[in-house]
Amino acid sequence: SHRYSFLDSKGYGIAVAVFAGISCLIGLATIFFVKGKAENFFVAGRSLPLWIVVPTLAAQSLDSNALLGNVDLGYKFHFWDGAVLPLGLGLSLVLNGIFLARHVNNDEVLTLPDIYAKRYGKVVEILISCICITSFLFLLAGNLVGT
């Protein structure tokens, strides 16, 4: 029986280090493309074509919480129990695109709390920010359980 040692994973460590280095170089290169504006970094100057936006939004929902959780629900109970989350996510993206995206783009906001801040003020913005942080923590917990 061979004991696992650090040297056994040397190739993986090199691959991870190279990937991290390339990611840092790409991050540093973006400084020249964003021209000092956060909006250019976060939403690409609000000029992305639909064929890039759609897979980007879809990829955000492909996490271990959704994938493994849906497979587990579908296996244990019924197909529709596992299909509810992807169908709901898809429907919410379509409805947000139809009813909300134009207003968000016209108001030139970057986050959900920004939308509420423009309409209801700073106190509501802070409250919505706390709710968003809490919901993200639950999402993170689900992803950690799924891995």
pLDDT tens for 100-113 read 888 888 888 888 89
Average pLDDT score over residue span 80-96 = 84
**Position with higher pLDDT, 45 vs 83:** 83
> Which pLDDT score is estimated for 133?
95
Cβ contacts of 48 within 8 Å, gap of 6 or more: 56
Report residue 50's pLDDT band, with 50, 70 and 90 as the boundaries: confident
Mean pLDDT of the chain: 82
Report residue 22's pLDDT band, with 50, 70 and 90 as the boundaries: very high
φ/ψ region of 3 (left if φ > 0, alpha if ψ in -120 to 50, else beta) reads beta
**CA 69 to mean position of chain CA atoms:** 17
Confidence (pTM) = 0.61
| Residue 146 predicted with pLDDT over 70 | no
Helices 64-76 and 122-146 sit at what angle, rounded to 10 degrees? 60
Place of tokens 């090199």: 14
> Which pLDDT score is estimated for 147?
58
Report residue 130's pLDDT band, with 50, 70 and 90 as the boundaries: very high
What gap in Å lies between CA 123 and CA 125, rounded to an integer?
5
> Which pLDDT score is estimated for 9?
67
Token readout for 121 is: 């003020």
